[in-house]
Amino acid sequence: MENGNVVVENEVVGSAGETPNTAVESPVLEKPKRIRVSGEDFMVAWEETAAGLAKGTLTGSGVLLVATRLGLQPNTVEQRASKYRANYGVALSKMPRGSGAKFNAVTANERLAAIKAKLNEVVPPSTETEQAPA
């Protein structure tokens, strides 16, 4: 102990009775550069993607295709398209949804029954209400 400070390997760590500062400086993480895309470039990419999906020349998620093409995050593309429509009245095309397959309730219920049956094999459900012993 030297002048009320704790000495560790010839370094002053802190005053006696105090918790030494153990914070380690971390390297500064640089934010990725913000990608700037003009409104016109955005609208062209959006419309070309929507047209390609409608014609069948493109496959996949329209938002992901636009995001990849412009180097933006998918949520940024969704927000920007929504903002253009709602705030500025820009009539952007709607992206086709899904793969075009229709929902089949009969098949879905059959799959659900198979899943439940498999789960019930592990833990069979009680058909009678069990009474607690008196």
Residue type, 44: V
Nearest to 92 by CA among 39, 21, 134, 35: 39
Q: Look at residue 124 and tell me if it is in a domain.
A: no
Q: Look at residue 6 and tell me if it is in a domain.
A: no
Structurally, the chain folds into a number of domains equal to: 1
Mean of the per-residue pLDDT values for the chain? 77
Nearest to 62 by CA among 45, 87, 79, 76: 45
Q: Look at residue 68 and tell me if it is in a domain.
A: yes
Which tens digits make up the pLDDT trace of 25-78?
A: 656 667 667 789 999 999 999 999 999 988 888 888 889 999 999 999 999 999
Beta bridge partners of 112: none
| Strand, coil or helix: 31 | coil
Q: Look at residue 49 and tell me if it is in a domain.
A: yes
Give the pTM. 0.52
DSSP 110-127: HHHHHHHHHHHHHSPPPS
6 pLDDT more than 60 = no
Enclosing domain of residue 79: 39-88
pLDDT band at 81 (very low <50, low <70, confident <90, very high): very high
Q: Look at residue 117 and tell me if it is in a domain.
A: no
Q: Look at residue 96 and tell me if it is in a domain.
A: no
Q: How far is CA 119 from the centre of its chain?
A: 30
**Maximum distance among all Cα pairs of the chain, rounded to whole angstroms:** 83
Q: Look at residue 82 and tell me if it is in a domain.
A: yes
Q: Look at residue 66 and tell me if it is in a domain.
A: yes
Nearest to 36 by CA among 75, 70, 68, 62: 70
